[in-house]
Structure 1
Amino acid sequence: MPVAPRTLPAAVLVIGLLAATPVLAAPPTDLDTRVEEAMSRFGVPGMAVAIVEEGRPVFAKGYGVRELGGDAAVDADTLFLIGSTSKAFTAAALAVLVDDGKLGWDDRVIDHMPGFQMHDPWVTREITVRDLLVHRSGLGLGAGDLMFVPRTSRSREELVEALRHIKPATSFRSGYAYDNVLYVVAGQLVEEVSGQRWEEFVRDRLLRPAGMARSTTLDTDLYATPNRVQPHARLDGPIRGTGNQQTLDERAGLPQVTAPAGLIASSANDMAQWLSLQLGHGALPDGTRVFSEAQAREMWTPVVPIPVSPLPEPIAATTPLFSSYSLGWNVRDYRGVRVIEHSGAVFGVQAVVVLVPERDIGFSLHINSEDGAVLRGLQYELLDHYLDAPDTDWIKAFGDFRQARVDGALQALQATAPEAKQSRPSLPLADYAGRFRDPWYGPMEIRQERDGLRIDFQNTPDMEGTLSHWQYDTFRADWDDKTLEPAYVTFALDAEGHVERVTMKAVSPIADFSFDFHDLLFTPVRGEE
């Protein structure tokens, strides 16, 4: 059931500007109403908004509750995980090291990390610090994410070690494909060059100098902070994103080793400081400089074009004329104006950070659920406000777009459902059991138990599930942890009728790309088939 948002006056922080620096446009007068309507419409428990104008925070506020069914209100100091908007912080950490003279953007990674390897030796020799951040390495979309989604027992160093086993999808620097794993490498590079763990370096050289006193880089610090949101998602429908909103176990989310790609936690007040720092090209309004103006320009300079496909109605007008990726940021246009932005989604929490440098405004939006239509809708309503464009109900438009995608996915699932007369597996169930290994993920085991087959991803704590026959030699894996996307598991047999390899793919046509089951190729562990 949708939760009626609670709004407390005490949660409001509106900072007046000095008369010497007048605001060109105030926040929308109906912003509270639009936020509360959107939250109610989509059942979002809690939200936070920060707005900066002319380089100074003018608005920071929390809405709703930290946890579904609770009464603890979200305020301007409530911590949210900010997902992949953390990537801009990792890029900024490297920018600080460039300012320190300890590395250069076009230095080869192996000059600072001699043990680093990609699958292709030539790419290993040539890949640069800049390449780590711009999604042009040749890896496929989300390649390697299952090494740490949803969890892992591996260290950051071990994730970097496993990278050499991931085969490229395209040639080096030939195109754009978003990844997370190379930001984990970038985090390890920060440690190799600075002598500090990424967590401490980002805290000491970015967050604290920027005045982001409450923001955290460590999950243990987040859990120790009472004023934090809980993640929420819809898991009990036919596919993730449908059904009833429910609270997730926050400690079952992504592991600390992936923090450089997406696990910073921050608040509306602190994100206002980050927006001010960005719009100040590395300096805060009081003159405090965190990184140089030269590095600020580098981080906003487009590097890799992102292919643009026309978006359908009712969101067609948001299709950019150009789109590109810079160092931790997307750079694109909207209504003829350059927009620098990044979104983030991580285990029941979502965020978007938006900068319009030519208008000297920026804002961040955060929710403690996976109902992204709220973020995108409010993003474009705020952009229209500051660009003096006609009012559009973008919240409804993105909601309708999302519903159309869900309806299409459900229809696709129905179309692929096995016919009433099921085929039979080729082998007795016991013959599918065994130990298997994928070169980059590692070990997986299939066991026959009293109630049938079980699958166990052994480098991912608690990623176990039940295999039920689907059709032919394909089974469906339904995980004990319902936050994980179900997957089809297909066994290929050799001429003697033994399992030769195992491949997988997500059941849902709109599953998050981080569930990159399709990149796995398991083969039997010799002598243990």
Structure 2
Amino acid sequence: MADLDENTPMTENTLTCIGSAAKAFTSALLAVLITEDKKKRGTLSWKTTLREIFGEEFRLTSDPVVSSHTTLEDILSHRSGVGSADALLMAQVYPEKYRDVLRRRLILLPKKGQLRGQFSYNNLMYGLAGMAAEAIGGKPYFELMREKLLEPLNITTAVLVDNLDYSQPLTSKPHQMIKGSVKRSDPRFYRLGPFSPAGGLCLSPTDLTKWLYFVNTLGTTPSKKRLVSSFDFMEMTSSKVALDFLTQLGFSLFDPYPQPSYTAWYGMGWFGRFYRGSVDFFHGGSMFSYNSVVVMDTIKQTGIAVTVNGLNPTILQLDLYPLAYYLKDLLLDKTPWLNKTTICSYPEPWGNPFFRPPPTQNVEEKYVGETGEFVGVFGHTLYGEVLVTDNNQSIDLKWGEVMKGTLYDRTNLLSFRLRVDDDVFSVLGSEIGDIKVVFNQFYSGQYNNLEITFQGMMEKYNFSRDVEFNFFLPSQSTSSSTARLISFTTEFCPFVLIMSILVNLFNRL
């Protein structure tokens, strides 16, 4: 169902959101811009540096090597070595109109590794790729996307999730399980702002099949117009960075599974894998209740897309990938190793069953006591400001538009756990996990530094009283207080309300 409350069915024209499977759309948009520039004998390529695009003032972390040498290819293949900031996305610190302010403050991002050293998934870098497209094309990201890619493919329903009209019957509504009942998910949490190029695209199943055609034909429209040169298209799907073992383990199948599947690399918006004699390009997407997986085989000219709008949380590797394997086997004319029984018991009988309890907040006792030394505004030039307030001798905390809660479980003089409000946790809980809040730097009768750690995302953020956050402040202040950063340590049986399965089998050559 597209909407359980209204008993609205899913149709081929109902909009659904595809999460990170939209990263390939952002890469394809840049591929179109590169192809157009080459026709004009320009120099734009995947190797073009961000500094060539944004100007000499551009900074990405405080490392001059990263700032001057990072290319489009680097940010699209998750090998920039820059720390992620997904909690910044979920807190909704930056409205869409301030995306350029965010870009000018990226000097304050921490490094996580070496440039081109390893794969490290980073949604913020895809947001930056969208900004690069704007700088190259001279128009807003989605306007360029519509003009350069969607309209030539006759994709007419596409919209960014921030602009999705949930009142329309042809919009699939996100759903989740709350206290044993299926409920509509609060749409105010489904806003990505400057992160939209990383996973904010929504479109109908009919239009999604047009995208499958575009990929299978290496960048051409149904009218046979080539939007992307075949060379630049193959650059998108070819290996740019090898995957570490833990990432491979999450996406691959080894013994004792009947058929091996080996995911070995990441291109630009696509994972690459070997499965039953074929080479596949695929990508999953997860935005709370909206989840998807797209699998392409450009040699055999097949494409699969599976999307769902519930229930949150969905685990792609357990809920959608098995169905994609089953459909892939059918398209390969091979006997599926999954059947009606094992697709429901997966990963059994080959692996241990996976128990998936609903996310809970592991807090026990709300703090009640003196609050004066804690309350106040703590800021960071990039990460925004955290408001800590007294609530009848308890302590409330708010970061961005939606991240808010109350402090619990004071384990020592400095450390607490944040119990986020129920409406926030019901949507974000499976992503953020436990949240630790630590106050330190006590002087002048108050704590002057605040540290928030999101255990689920393995991200840590620091805020200080002496740092003001303002969208109109100078962008690249690097005073000792604002530059004090701590590196991130990084990163068919479930009940589903709506599932659209698209299988596009083209004429075999």
| TM-score of the pair, normalised by structure 1 | 0.75
Aligned-residue identity in percent: 24
**Contact kept? 1:87, 1:328, Cα under 8 Å:** yes
Using the alignment, how far apart are the partners of 2:93 and 2:343 within structure 1?
Answer: 36
Structure 1 position 163, deviation (Å): 1.9
Indicate how the Cα distance of structure 1 residues 315 and 181 shifts in structure 2: closer, same or farther if over 3 A, else same.
farther
Q: How does 1:80-479 map to 2 (within 5 A)?
A: 80-101=16-37, 103-114=44-55, 115-119=57-61, 120-140=63-83, 143-154=84-95, 155-217=98-160, 219-220=162-163, 222-223=165-166, 225-236=168-179, 243-309=180-246, 310=249, 316=257, 320-369=261-310, 370=312, 371=314, 372=316, 373-387=318-332, 388-393=334-339, 395-398=343-346, 404=354, 406=356, 428-450=370-392, 452-457=394-399, 460-472=400-412, 473-479=414-420
Alignment-mate amino acid for residue 374 of structure 1: D
CA displacement, residues 45-88 of structure 1 (integer Å, 9 cap, x when unaligned):
xxxxxxxxxxxxxxxxxxxx111232211011110011111111
CA displacement, residues 470-497 of structure 1 (integer Å, 9 cap, x when unaligned):
4223322222333233643332444768
Indicate how the Cα distance of structure 1 residues 121 and 319 shifts in structure 2: closer, same or farther if over 3 A, else same.
farther
Q: Which moved more, 1:306-315 or 1:119-128?
A: 306-315
Give RMSD over aligned pairs: 3.1
Structure 1 position 151, deviation (Å): 2.3
**Contact kept? 1:203, 1:216, Cα under 8 Å:** no
CA displacement, residues 284-312 of structure 1 (integer Å, 9 cap, x when unaligned):
34423222222221111110011234468
Alignment-mate amino acid for residue 404 of structure 1: F
Indicate how the Cα distance of structure 1 residues 248 and 293 shifts in structure 2: closer, same or farther if over 3 A, else same.
same
**Contact kept? 1:434, 1:446, Cα under 8 Å:** yes
Q: How does 1:2-41 map to 2 (within 5 A)?
A: none
State yes or no: 1:77 paired with 2:7. Answer: no
Using the alignment, how far apart are the partners of 2:442 and 2:158 within structure 1?
Answer: 58
Indicate how the Cα distance of structure 1 residues 398 and 288 shifts in structure 2: closer, same or farther if over 3 A, else same.
farther
Using the alignment, how far apart are the partners of 2:462 and 2:355 within structure 1?
Answer: 29
**Contact kept? 2:243, 2:265, Cα under 8 Å:** yes
Indicate how the Cα distance of structure 1 residues 492 and 456 shifts in structure 2: closer, same or farther if over 3 A, else same.
closer
SS in 2 for 1:519: strand
State yes or no: 1:499 paired with 2:447. Answer: yes
Using the alignment, how far apart are the partners of 2:146 and 2:81 within structure 1?
Answer: 31
Structure 1 position 257, deviation (Å): 2.7
Structure 1 position 340, deviation (Å): 0.3
Structure 1 position 273, deviation (Å): 0.7
Indicate how the Cα distance of structure 1 residues 519 and 456 shifts in structure 2: closer, same or farther if over 3 A, else same.
same
Using the alignment, how far apart are the partners of 1:176 and 1:287 within structure 2?
Answer: 35
SS in 2 for 1:199: helix
Structure 1 position 146, deviation (Å): 2.2
**Contact kept? 1:332, 1:340, Cα under 8 Å:** yes
Using the alignment, how far apart are the partners of 2:193 and 2:463 within structure 1?
Answer: 26
Greater relative CO (CA pairs within 8 A, separation 6+): 2
Using the alignment, how far apart are the partners of 2:121 and 2:270 within structure 1?
Answer: 12
Structure 1 position 138, deviation (Å): 0.8
Indicate how the Cα distance of structure 1 residues 479 and 164 shifts in structure 2: closer, same or farther if over 3 A, else same.
same
Indicate how the Cα distance of structure 1 residues 442 and 319 shifts in structure 2: closer, same or farther if over 3 A, else same.
farther
Match of 1:21 in 2: none
Q: Which moved more, 1:309-318 or 1:74-83?
A: 309-318
Structure 1 position 253, deviation (Å): 1.2
**Contact kept? 2:370, 2:393, Cα under 8 Å:** no
**Contact kept? 1:202, 1:217, Cα under 8 Å:** no
Indicate how the Cα distance of structure 1 residues 405 and 498 shifts in structure 2: closer, same or farther if over 3 A, else same.
farther
Indicate how the Cα distance of structure 1 residues 503 and 440 shifts in structure 2: closer, same or farther if over 3 A, else same.
same
Indicate how the Cα distance of structure 1 residues 489 and 434 shifts in structure 2: closer, same or farther if over 3 A, else same.
farther
Using the alignment, how far apart are the partners of 2:193 and 2:379 within structure 1?
Answer: 24
Match of 1:9 in 2: none
Using the alignment, how far apart are the partners of 1:338 and 1:332 within structure 2?
Answer: 6
Indicate how the Cα distance of structure 1 residues 317 and 304 shifts in structure 2: closer, same or farther if over 3 A, else same.
farther
Using the alignment, how far apart are the partners of 1:409 and 1:367 within structure 2?
Answer: 20
SS in 2 for 1:435: strand
**Contact kept? 2:242, 2:265, Cα under 8 Å:** yes
Using the alignment, how far apart are the partners of 1:444 and 1:146 within structure 2?
Answer: 13
Indicate how the Cα distance of structure 1 residues 353 and 322 shifts in structure 2: closer, same or farther if over 3 A, else same.
closer
Indicate how the Cα distance of structure 1 residues 491 and 374 shifts in structure 2: closer, same or farther if over 3 A, else same.
closer
Structure 1 position 205, deviation (Å): 1.1
Match of 2:489 in 1: none
Alignment-mate amino acid for residue 437 of structure 1: G
CA displacement, residues 250-287 of structure 1 (integer Å, 9 cap, x when unaligned):
23312343221111111111111110111011123442
Alignment-mate amino acid for residue 490 of structure 1: V
**Contact kept? 1:162, 1:441, Cα under 8 Å:** no
CA displacement, residues 222-272 of structure 1 (integer Å, 9 cap, x when unaligned):
557540101112354xxxxxx543211223312343221111111111111
Match of 1:55 in 2: none
Using the alignment, how far apart are the partners of 1:275 and 1:430 within structure 2?
Answer: 58
Structure 1 position 314, deviation (Å): 9.6
Structure 1, unaligned runs of 5 or more: 1-64, 237-242
CA displacement, residues 335-376 of structure 1 (integer Å, 9 cap, x when unaligned):
232110011111311011110223211110110013343322
**Contact kept? 1:106, 1:128, Cα under 8 Å:** yes
Match of 1:60 in 2: none
CA displacement, residues 377-424 of structure 1 (integer Å, 9 cap, x when unaligned):
2111112222304431453244767962636988xx98xx77xxx899
Alignment-mate amino acid for residue 210 of structure 1: L
| TM-score of the pair, normalised by structure 2 | 0.78
Using the alignment, how far apart are the partners of 2:178 and 2:272 within structure 1?
Answer: 33
SS in 2 for 1:484: helix
**Contact kept? 2:17, 2:161, Cα under 8 Å:** no
Aligned residue pairs: how many?
439
Match of 1:42 in 2: none
Alignment-mate amino acid for residue 291 of structure 2: Q
SS in 1 for 2:419: strand
Indicate how the Cα distance of structure 1 residues 324 and 456 shifts in structure 2: closer, same or farther if over 3 A, else same.
same
SS in 2 for 1:188: helix
